[in-house]
Amino acid sequence: MPRIKKFENRIPAFYRKSTLDLLMFSHVTALREYTAEDSKYTMTIEEAIDDFYEVYGIDPDELPIESALTTYTRLQNNFLWSEMKRKIKIS
Average pLDDT over residues 42-66: 91
Q: How far apart are CA 48 and CA 21, in angstroms?
A: 14
The percentage of the chain sitting over the pLDDT mark of 70, rounded to a whole number, equals 70
- DSSP per residue, 43-66: --HHHHHHHHHHHHT--TTTS-HH
Query: CA–CA distance from 72 to each of 13, 64, 84 (Å)?
Result: 15, 12, 18
pLDDT tens column, 9-53: 555 665 656 888 889 999 999 998 888 776 677 889 999 999 999
Q: Give residue 35's pLDDT.
A: 80
pTM of the full predicted structure?
Answer: 0.70
Residue 84 pLDDT greater than 80, yes or no: no
Q: Give residue 46's pLDDT.
A: 95
Q: Give residue 90's pLDDT.
A: 58
Q: 75 near 12, Cβ under 8 Å?
A: no
